[in-house]
Structure 1
Amino acid sequence: MSTRAGAPAAHTTLRSTVALAARILPVHHPLHSFIAVNPLHGLETLPFADAVARSGEWYGARGIPSDEVFRTAYRAGRITDADVTAALVHRYPDLASVPPVRIDHTWVAVSDLLRLELLTAAPAGRPRRGHHTRSEHGAPAVARTVDTYTTRWCAAFLSDGAAWPMPGATGRFYAAWRDLAFRDTTLPRAVRAALRGLPERAEDALAAALERLGVASHERLAYLRADLTRMPGWAAHVRWHGEHEGRIDLVEYLAMRLTYESLLLSSTDAPSSTDATPAPQVPQPPPAPRQRVAALAAQLGARATDEQLAVAAAAVANYPAPPAGLLWLEAYEHHYRDRLLRRLSGAGSPPSPHRPAAQVVCCIDVRAEGLRRHLEAQGDYETYGFAGFFAMSISFGDLDGAVQPALCPALVSPAHHVVERPAITAAARRHRRGRRSMAAASDAFHAAKDAPVSPFAMAEFAGWAAGPLAAARTALPATTARLRRRMLRVIAPSAPTLLDVNETVPLEQRLLYAQALLGTVGLSGRLARVVVLCAHGSTTENNPYQAALDCGACGGHRGGPNARTAAAVVNDPEVRDGLAARGLVIPSDSWFVAAEHDTTTDRVTVLDPHTVPGSHRDAVAAVSRDLARAGDALAVERGAALPELAHRGSRSGRRVLRQVRTRADDWAQVYPEWGLAGNAAFIAGPRSMTRGLDLQRRVFLHSYDADADTDGTALETILTAPLIVAQWINAQYFASTVEPEIFGAGTKTVHNAVGGAGVLSGHEGDLRLGLPWQSVAHGERLVHEPMRLLAVIQAPLDRVEMIIQRNPALHRLTTHQWITLVAREHPGRPWQRHTPHGWQPWTRTNPLDQETR
């Protein structure tokens, strides 16, 4: 939040307090550019365990799955005794060397006693929100009324493109609300009279409201934070606007809320002064070691002597009973991680020495793992992983004039604006004419529908057609979609285009982009005749969360424009000459082709085929055919896990393929695809680490060649950008699974979109954060396993350590246990875990123990 010029010192202080209070909030992007965020991002300065406790204190939210989820996983064998022991040893490294103790006639390992203690502990209760506003504490009806007004005003002001816009919606929120609020006849007369006299500045209104509420200066931070966390969805979205120079910020938002609260409280008999801080809770003292051992002996059905109890108590006293939930979580994570690392330890097929038929660079997105695996099975192909914006930080304008403002990660800003230009003028003219006709018809229909009187006539005139059409779209989604596409091709046939990259991006910048792309993934050596840069996007109908299925590295948009821009840059002779002067030679017969993978249908489309030279058309056609086969195989594989398909038993692959692809056109489909559900690990290394392994579309795969990155520049880029974005994605899926009603979006079945801001559950309430339940679960069955991200790096340990130490954000994530980072220098070397105390060997359990349950 920027401080306005000339603001008095009191305004500056108040704005600083609001900014500090808002650190606990996530940032909620608009639906058109919805990207993953960690809802506890503001708490990443704390260790993960402390952040979990803080989320319970402020939000009343679970930060980790409930004990019952973990116990169910244990009974099912998803967590084994070996996993629990490994988690205990990681927490208490010397535990493995402690000699066993005798209880009755049996020798028992101390780790077994601690594991039994975990299994028999009473389940933890649900956290309760500990900080409340005055109205929450003394007048809940007033608190609910304030929430209702918040939703009404924020929805009206932030619903861009509404047919009947809110008066003053083009200016600042506070000014528009101040001009209208006192006209609301549902408010008490005294409140309306007070609203007439509101000050002109939001800061003054907020300060006055805090004074009326009796909030002392030292209470302000806690009180403002309590209010912000009551409706975190709207507050997080307003925070985004404030950070992007929008028409509303958190000071204005809080001025509105606290003004309502203070005035409504003053017009009721509710208490006017209660503390927003939680009542102090006296912690229960932990049981004495002897009591702990006696209880465990009873669980074992053993009769321990006093001497045995004393010896065992002395051993157990060194290991306080850890927080059960965190220990369960680590055991849950260990089960997956240990198996993955064992598989990676055994992998290592080097690339073929001869020139491959083609090379395909995909996004690191977990969904690309399956496409790469199936393509490599088709023939002599090499695949690579790179963030899906392909190092092109751009905004994009298409042939129709539509602009996508930021096709790049949220960590960076677009540096250049790339625009489509007609390759054939006549074709472009016909395409634009058709598009304008369709847009004019659509605008006329919506204008008539939204006008005060004409909807009644519209219902009489168009209802006979709209009803059957809606029924057809519901019953025959694939057929109606095919007819719509045919009609579109007739009215506005596609026109070949070129990108004005050379005119808009200076040569030096193009050279840097090309160098970053080729050098980071290890393509600076031998190149195939055809190199495909394969972006991705998703096709769904009637889905407010469309952007969540698109490319996060492209700002929640399809990545096709980035792939096209990158191909145009690297194919440019001037760029190739400049790269050669820097020692990076691209063979004259190597051609880069852009493509896009639709992750709902698993169709891969080659983009700009008209730019492919005649000498390469047959080779590009062959790659395209094999990409199509790989996509078909992947769609059938995914179909085995999709709802409505998984339970129908064995069917022909062709039928499964057709039903998977129908989901993209079905406007009633709440499970079009699983997106990034299941994501659990990030791997940066050569393809030889993972080639031939089925990683079940759960791993972000980023190509990295440590030998070609002697100064560590490429690795630092990977660990401070793609890894961070992957952690955001992982954290959002984690939180939406663990706490769907607070950090997720609840069920899709009651969603109502609010302009481009977000969705509500029903017609009022808070703006929903995170992902819908249907993105992480089917019914009560979890599809996403909530685990923190595992980062696996193949690089010199001292290089990794240097990068961690000089990048504070990465250092916090690793040392505060938001992610676990393991590395090895070469294949065959043991994996080392990064800890605050240096590198330590990965604790591996006996593989036989993993299989016994």
Structure 2
Amino acid sequence: MLIRYRTFTNNAEVKNNNMAYREITQPLLENSTATSKKIEFNLDASIEHIAHWLPAQGPIKDFIHHNTLHAFQQHPFHKGIAIAAKTFGARSYLPLEDYQAMYQQGRINKAAIEWAIEHSGCTKPMQETLRESLFEADATSHYPPISLANHGIRNAWLTQLEVNLNALVHPVLFRLLGNFLDQGISRWSLPKNGEHFWDCVLRLAKNSLLPLYPLDEPVVHELLSASPDDVINVCLKKIVGNEELYEQYLLEMLLAHPGWAGMVHVIEQNPKSLLARREISLKEMIAVELALELAFLHKKKGTQFSGIAALPYTQGTPLLKDGGFKPIIPLRLRVWHEAMEWSLHSELLKALKPKDTQIISPTQKKLPEAQALFCIDDRECSLRRHLEASNPAIETLGAAGFFGIDFFYQGLNDAYPVAQCPNIITPKHLIKEASRKQQNDKTKSKSGNLTNMHFTAHSIFRGWLFTQTLGIGYAIRMAWNVFRPGSKLPSIRTLSEVETHTHLHLLRESEDLTEDGYLLGFSFPEMADRVGGLLRNIGLTQHFSPLVVIVAHGSSSVNNPHFAAYDCGACSGKPGAPNARAFAWMANHDTVRAILFESGIEIPVNTRFVAALHNTSRDEITYFDKQLLKQHPAPGLPAFQKAMKQALENNAGERCRWFELGPQSQTNKKAHQHVIERSSSIFEPRPEYNHSNNLYAIVGRRALTKNLFMDRRAFLHSYDPQTDTQGDIMARILSAVIPVCGGINLEYLFSRIDNSVYGAGTKLPHNVIGLLGVANGVEGDLRTGLPSQMIEVHQPARLLIVVEQMPAILDKTIAKLGGLKEWLDNEWVRFVACHPENRQLFLYSVNGWETVEFADDSETPQATISEEILLGQTETIPVHQFIRRHA
């Protein structure tokens, strides 16, 4: 196969043979010439510049997967991660021995290694040297490089003046931030209504009966009366002393706690990300932190301490003023990583290519007994396979889990509405949920409302009394739950499940806007537009079965602050049940169907849409709005429910092979009981493995993948290439697939590559801070990325997007993607076109389309049923083809 990369420079560096290893590296072309012109410091411009480098992870209630290294997407993938490594001090690849072990295990093949070498951009002599070096032992080549975060100018405080500013400042700063931004853990709110962070700190420092240490230092105490801009400039002049170094110092200071810095920036950019709004800016936080630094320096070193500019720094210290970090890509690790990815990607691509004797011809579509529309989520990949196996007369389809219905949703017990759509969409509509059991509203509000988490009366004595009495009882109950977990979820299930006894106000009765500027409900033309848009996107405009089930998904677990990361990414980290219910109601309405008929979509009178929710941790399903089914029965529903029940049990059995304590040789019913129990176990850090090992995103007809076993690794989106001659439908689909699926994939990839920097570390010491995020202990930085328990079995490979369409049409699609085009051009995801008629494969690059060819003639393994493939397997499984048994 041919792929063109950016050409490597010929001056490859070969490390000294006397060292423990020899490495071939590729220096990046960066402008490293120091400028002679004096740099004038602009505070606002500098803050805007350095903010781009901060994590973009918001509060944990809305855990939205995204590219961890979004700030580097304008660079080609390997260059981007090299710059990120030089910035954050992170690893870019797995250890060399891990790749070599995968080669010994057969998961990296020789053909993939040759492919990676041939397309490395090296000359033939360099390729031979590179080939010889691949299998040499080297335990240190993946170590993080000298970086701005760990070896910059600010490091001089620790190494030369022996003042650990981070250890002194961070506990104070984090307490102030945590208390100011708190969303409900504390009974008392620190800020007054509308008070800014800077004003709040100033009030505490000036008016508190007890001094606010260390801001009681006289010089700093007097300085606080100035504006944040003036405080920052005065502090930088004393602490740093040279305007050329100001921006770098601020960046290094923020990189010492990227979690809190990134959170403040996200809140500043989107104040509505918090339920209880707080007024804070990155500038205010910087001003407070610099004031704390100056106060501690005065206390430790007196008033005549030397600034950063007066301290010598070692050669090789990265400097922003020099125009670049001169990051280096370790070529050997890059080649190994490319070989690993191509080995995994080619497993699918080979399975998609027909044999020479196979003829791809359209077959007459037989009307299925039922159709099930799932989210494209990779966890639904296996459930769809098992459902089709349980009843071959059921057809499954896939679409983004918000099902084309974008709105703000306010549940029965919700104090605030939340967005039920991808975060790149800003909804204009609000949907509210109402109860059909009004007599229970008051009781349920007391048990489920997050705003009512405290006792109505509060005093020191009463708090002590409750602790001594109720606390003992709860401790006993917790101990019992640890050793004897039950299968029933506690009342906290309302955080990630939707009750079935409610109804949604979907029809707009007035054109008046709400206080927040939303339209309350949809008009019939708007409903038809959204329903019709989704049906056209997935190619379901005719041949409707009598039953169409819209299957959303969510997840249930206890003692898991990352629960939102287990829900639907297309719904901004929420369960997709409201969207499924809305879609089913709209598609069932006669007025909506009449409008759709005029636009060419005829839904038969006897077709009924039913909404359901798949709980991915418990492998249970809930069917909604049963009262509507009494008015309009769906005769095929009992048969569908029976097939789904069997599919859920089989799916649980497939999942259990990953769980160390899961039943490996028991029946699927036993496996199903196990996944139910582990989801409600208070000590279980792995209720499910979520998106671990996600690898493929496939946009096309189900016939393309129906005969494939893909080991729960594929996002599957339905699409009919014959109805999209201009690529418009594909553009709409990719606008959701690229950021949602690509964001999931890259967050898992980088959290797996370096969990200490890009990930959140282990869950076990995590504490929830202010309902904002998690931190180690009570005074640590907010942890970004994914915890180790979510990524420990993940193979860190980039997403391969395969679309069933001709390259000429996809050229039109790519031109319509706007900023998302850089994901493809810079290869943060791989993009392959599969010709809809002959299944010829073409790989996209910034230089154009390249025909996919395979150097080896290995065959795709085959099997008759899933159980045959899964037997005894505890690792990832290559793609298999299903073959029919002969009678």
State if a TM-score over 0.5 links the two structures.
yes
Deviation per CA, 1:163-185: give whole Å up to 9, x if none.
13324475211111122246574
Residues 31, 800 of structure 1: CA spacing in aligned structure 2 closer, same or farther, 3 A cutoff? same
Distance 1:675 1:404, change over 3 A: farther
**Paired AA for residue 637 in structure 1:** E
Question: Bigger shift: 63-72 or 752-761?
Answer: 63-72
2: CA distance between counterparts of 1:78 and 1:189?
58
- 2:680 maps to 1:680: no
Any conservation in 2 of the 1:529–1:590 contact (CA below 8 Å)?
A: yes
Decide which of 396, 411, 414 is 2:409's aligned counterpart: 396
The 3 A distance-change label for structure 1 pair 823 and 149 is: same
- Asked if 1:501 is matched to 2:507, the reply is yes
The residue that corresponds to 2:562 in the other structure is: 545
Check the 8 A contact 1:349/1:691 in 2, yes or no: no
| Counterpart for residue 677 of structure 2 | 662
2:50 is the alignment partner of 1:53: no
Tell whether the 8 Å contact from 1:531 to 1:590 is kept in structure 2 after alignment.
yes
Q: 1:351 to 1:619 in 2, by over 3 A?
A: farther
User: Partners in 1 of 2:560 and 2:734 — Cα distance?
Assistant: 32
What does residue 453 of structure 1 align with? 461
Quick one: structure 1 residues 610 and 328, their matched pair in 2 at CA, closer, same or farther if it must change by over 3 Å? same
Distance 1:850 1:580 in 2: 44
Q: Does the residue aligned with 1:455 lie in a helix, a strand or coil?
A: helix
Q: Among 324, 328, 335, which residue is 1:327 paired with?
A: 335
Determine the structure 2 residue equivalent to 1:709: 724
Opposite residue 846 of structure 2, the aligned amino acid is: P
- Please point out which of 353, 366, 371 is paired with 2:365: 353
**Are residues 1:212 and 2:243 paired?**
no
Q: CA deviation at 1:479?
A: 5.3
Q: Closer, same or farther in 2 for the Cα pair 1:192/1:390, shift >3 Å?
A: farther
**AA paired with 1:25?**
L
Report the count of equivalent residues: 778
User: Could you tell me whether the CA contact under 8 Å between 1:136 and 1:143 is conserved in 2?
Assistant: no
Letter in 1 for 2:841: W
Aligned residue in 2 for 1:383: 396
1:840-851 equivalence runs, <5 A: 840-848=850-858
Cross-structure match for 1:176 = 200
Mapping for residues 204-353 of structure 1, pairs under 5 Å: 204-245=230-271, 246-269=278-301, 271-274=306-309, 280-281=315-316, 323-346=331-354, 353=365
Write the distance in 2 (CA, Å) between the matches of 1:445 and 1:485.
18
CA contact (8 A) 1:33 1:555 kept: yes
> Could you tell me how far 1:18 is from its partner in structure 2?
0.5
1:188–1:664 CA distance, 2 compared to 1 (3 A) = closer
State the SS of the aligned residue for 1:548: helix
Residue 570 (structure 1) shift: 1.6
Question: In the alignment, does 2:760 pair up with 1:736?
Answer: no
Query: Which residue of 1 is the match for residue 760 of structure 2?
Result: 745
Is residue 2:419 matched to residue 1:419? no
Partner Cα separation in structure 1 for residue 493 and residue 57 of structure 2:
34
Report the equivalent of 1:835. Answer: 845
Structure 1 residues 262 and 462, CA gap change in structure 2 (3 angstroms): closer
1:604 aligns with 621
Q: Does the 8 Å contact 2:386/2:647 carry over to 1?
A: yes
Residue matched to 1:126 = 144
Percent identical pairs in the alignment equals 28
Please say if residues 137 and 274 of structure 1, whose CA atoms lie closer than 8 Å, have aligned partners that are also in contact: no
Match of 1:374 among 372, 386, 393: 386
Q: Distance in 1 between matches of 2:439 and 2:422?
A: 35
**2:811 is the alignment partner of 1:801:** yes
SS in 1 for 2:188: coil
In 2, the alpha carbon distance for the partners of 1:42 and 1:600 equals 33
**8 Å contact from structure 1 (residues 157, 166) kept in 2:** yes
Alignment of 1:148 with 2:148, yes or no, is no
Which residue of 1 is the match for residue 322 of structure 2? none
Q: CA deviation at 1:505?
A: 1.0
Q: Distance in 1 between matches of 2:77 and 2:311?
A: 25
Residue 582 of structure 1 corresponds to 599
Distance 1:688 1:165, change over 3 A: same
CA distance in structure 1 between the aligned counterparts of 2:597 and 2:316, rounded to whole angstroms: 69
Alignment CA distance shift 1:440-1:386 (3 Å):
closer
**CA 1:170–1:211: 2 relative to 1, 3 Å:** same
Aligned to 2:827: 817
Give the aligned partner of residue 874 of structure 2: none
CA contact (8 A) 1:215 1:223 kept: no
Structure-2 separation of matches of 1:421 and 1:850:
52
Q: Using the alignment, how far apart are the partners of 1:329 and 1:341 within structure 2?
A: 18
Change over 3 Å in CA distance of 1:276–1:514 after alignment to 2: farther
Whether the aligned pair in 1 keeps the contact of 2:223 and 2:231 (CA below 8 Å) is: no
CA contact (8 A) 1:26 1:38 kept: no
Give how far 1:662 is off: 0.7
Seen in structure 2, the aligned counterparts of structure 1 residues 280 and 370 have a Cα distance that, compared at 3 Å, is same
1:419-471 Cα distance to aligned partner (Å, 9 max, x none): 1234x5xxx222213314546999586456x7422232123432453233223
Q: 1:277 to 1:362 in 2, by over 3 A?
A: farther
Shift in CA distance, 576/216, structure 1 to aligned 2, threshold 3 Å: farther
The residue that corresponds to 1:557 in the other structure is 574
Residue by residue, what CA displacement relative to the aligned partner does 1:674-724 show, whole Å, maximum 9, x if unpaired?
000111111111111100211111111111111112222210011222222
Q: Which residue of 1 aligns with 2:540?
A: 523
| Separation of aligned partners in 1, 2:827 and 2:780 | 34
SS in 1 for 2:460: coil
Name the SS for the 1:120 alignment partner: coil
Q: Which residue is equivalent to 1:90?
A: 119
- Aligned match for 1:194, one of 202, 206, 220: 220
- Structure 1: runs of 5 or more not aligned: 1-9, 102-109, 284-319, 778-782
Q: 1:843/1:198 Cα in 2 relative to 1: closer, same or farther (>3 Å)? A: farther
Measured in 2, the distance between the counterparts of 1:569 and 1:599 equals: 26
Alignment partners' CA distance in 2, 1:520 and 1:279: 58
Cα distance in 2 between the residues matched to 1:599 and 1:588:
33
2:401 partner SS: coil
Q: Residue 357 of structure 1 contacts residue 381 of structure 1 at CA under 8 Å; is this kept in 2?
A: yes
Q: Matched residue of 1:411: which SS?
A: coil
Moved more, 746-755 or 506-515: 506-515
Alignment match, 2:27: none
Residues 480 and 337 of structure 1, relative CA distance in 2, 3 Å threshold: closer
Cα distance between partner residues in 2 of 1:263 and 1:349: 76
CA–CA distance in 2 between the matches of 1:321 and 1:665? Answer: 45
CA distance in 2, matches of 1:658, 1:156: 42
Q: Which runs of 5+ in 2 are unaligned?
A: 1-38, 272-277, 319-327, 510-520, 862-877, 879-887
Question: TM-score under structure 2 normalisation?
Answer: 0.82
2:801 alignment partner, SS class: strand
Corresponding residue number in structure 2 for 1:286 = none
Distance 1:455 1:549 in 2: 35
Normalised to the residue count of structure 1, the TM-score between the two structures is 0.85
In the other structure, the counterpart of 2:12 is none
CA 1:631–1:276 in structure 2 vs 1: closer, same or farther (change >3 Å)? farther
Tell me the SS of whatever aligns to 1:478: coil
Matched residue, 1:299: none
8 A contact 1:539–1:600 mirrored in 2: yes
Instruction: Tell me the alpha carbon deviations over residues 300-350 of structure 1, each in whole angstroms, 9 at most, x when there is no partner.
Output: xxxxxxxxxxxxxxxxxxxx9971221111011011101111112249796
> How far is the alpha carbon of 1:33 from its aligned partner?
0.7
More displaced stretch, 689-698 vs 170-179: 170-179
Counterpart of 2:201, as a letter, is: W
Structure 1 residue 199 displacement after superposition: 3.8
